[in-house]
């Protein structure tokens, strides 16, 4: 079946511009996660959606970052007034449930470059 998809695969933007990154999770997966992976670094948790519950936004690095999930499916991560330190690969993952035992399935990521 189809896996997690993300678009665009690459995004180059100028400092100060806003960007939107999209994630389509696996159908039927109720949990969705956004991470950031900088060069040579591990995964940095950003935000977590589980069903209709309020999202866990504790990993968002600043108020320039926001995310929404419409209809319990597609999610959009928005970065306003981008800065050079926002350059990274943004990964989306989904899992069958937010229950801790379920593994996460990752998309290919969006490589964001802020010039």
Partner 1 sequence: AQSVAQPEDQVNVAEGNPLTVKCTYSVSGNPYLFWYVQYPNRGLQFLLKYITGDNLVKGSYGFEAEFNKSQTSFHLKKPSALVSDSALYFCAVRANAGNNRKLIWGLGTSLAVNP
Chain residues binding partner 1 by CB under 8 A are 4, 33, 41-43, 45, 48, 56, 58-59, 91, 93, 100-101, 103-109
**Cα–Cα dist 25/17, whole Å:** 26
**Cα–Cα dist 112/115, whole Å:** 10
Q: What's the min distance (Å) between Cβ of 59 and partner 1?
A: 8
Contacts of 57 by beta carbon, 8 Å cutoff, 6+ apart: 47, 67
Nearer to partner 1, 59 or 72 (CB): 59
Nearer to partner 1, 11 or 80 (CB): 11
Nearer to partner 1, 20 or 56 (CB): 56
**Cα–Cα dist 29/60, whole Å:** 22
């Amino acid at each position: 079946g189809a896996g997690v998809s993300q678009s665009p695969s690459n995004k180059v933007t100028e400092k100060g511009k806003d960007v939107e990154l999209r994630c389509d999770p696996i159908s039927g997966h109720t949990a969705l996660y956004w991470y950031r992976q900088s060069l040579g670094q591990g995964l940095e948790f950003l935000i977590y959606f589980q069903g209709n519950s309020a999202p866990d936004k504790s990993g968002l690095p600043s108020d320039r970052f926001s995310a929404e999930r419409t209809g319990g499916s597609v999610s959009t991560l928005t970065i306003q007034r981008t800065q050079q330190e926002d350059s990274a690969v943004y990964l989306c993952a989904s899992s069958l449930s937010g229950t801790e035992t379920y593994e996460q399935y990752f998309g290919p990521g969006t490589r964001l470059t802020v010039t």
